[in-house]
Structure 1
Amino acid sequence: MLKGEANYWWEAKKTLETTFPIPWTRFTELFLEKYFPKYMENQMELKFLEFKQGNMSVAEYEAKFTELSRCVPYHVDTDEKKAKRFQQGLKPYIQNRIAVFEITNYTTLVQKAAFMESGSELYVKDANVKKRKFQNHSGRSFEKKVEN
């Protein structure tokens, strides 16, 4: 259901078509040509290929990855390609730990990455709890790791 300018465009465009009813594939082709030109597709492809997790959590990264991948379906048209591309954008410490498992299933990869991330956060939190600050007589502070 097209509205506004898109509806006006379609009403004018369909009068130029020679086959009726107009096949869905043809409509999509015309629609994308008008509202998602090749230069935009190229920009989205580049954005997708350069996309990295950065400071996002695995869950945030996965949501944005899914959003961007809709614009370039040929890069994620198999589960294995999708998993590989997702893994390439993960933070290096997660990517390196997960690579040894050679996971080709996207859902499994996302779950393992989230598990690795939460495990690392717990490790860092536990290590910080074990550190205690002491002050010596000169007023300088230093950290001493308390061993269990």
Structure 2
Amino acid sequence: MEKAFALVKVDQKTDFASYFMKGKANYWWESRKALKGDDIMTWDRFTKLFLEKYFPRYMKNQMEINFLELKQGNMSVTEYESKFTKLARFVPEQVDAEEKRAKRFQQGLKPWICSGVAIFELTTYMVVVQKAMIIEGKSEMS
């Protein structure tokens, strides 16, 4: 929704987002709105309530654990990077700087790929990913 709001410059975000709710989400919203009465609900409050309902803390905690335990394992570098990116949004403090993101990604690579990447002392995430892909690709050609 935030991407859509940025594109069309929506001012009444809560009304706009709630218009698209269907099924259980719409029933939830209608009951929340009835409890609120005539008071206007801010977008920040709406998103907080929505996330509490549909993305509770225990789920966020589980996603954080999944990220912290993430290793390349049997995945290709491309698959690992995709999963890394997906889970990284749940732990912004772990990847809030380019160098931190690059280091964390590198640590999860297969040891032989990590060793190959480490010698370059890279600090840029995309460069680490690219070098890991090159190293992996070279081994597949051997």
SS of 1:55 mapped into structure 2: coil
Give the TM-score taking structure 1 as reference length. 0.74
The structure with more helix, counted as a fraction of residues: 2
The aligned counterpart of 1:5 is 24
Aligned length: 123
1:22-37 alignment runs, 5 A limit: 22-37=41-56
How many percent identity over aligned positions?
61
Cα shift at 1:17: 4.1
Paired position in structure 1 for 2:124: 105
Amino acid at match of 1:29: K
- The alpha carbon displacement at 1:32 in A equals 1.1
Q: Which residue of 2 aligns with 1:87?
A: 106
2:60 aligns with one of 9, 27, 41: 41
Q: Which has the larger radius of gyration?
A: 1
User: Which structure 2 segments of 5+ residues have no match?
Assistant: 1-19
Matched, 1:55 2:74: yes
Scaled by the length of structure 2, the TM-score of the pair is: 0.76
CA RMSD of aligned residues (A): 1.9
Deviations 1:29-71 (A, max 9, x none): 1111111111111111111110110111101111111122233
Greater percentage in strand: 1
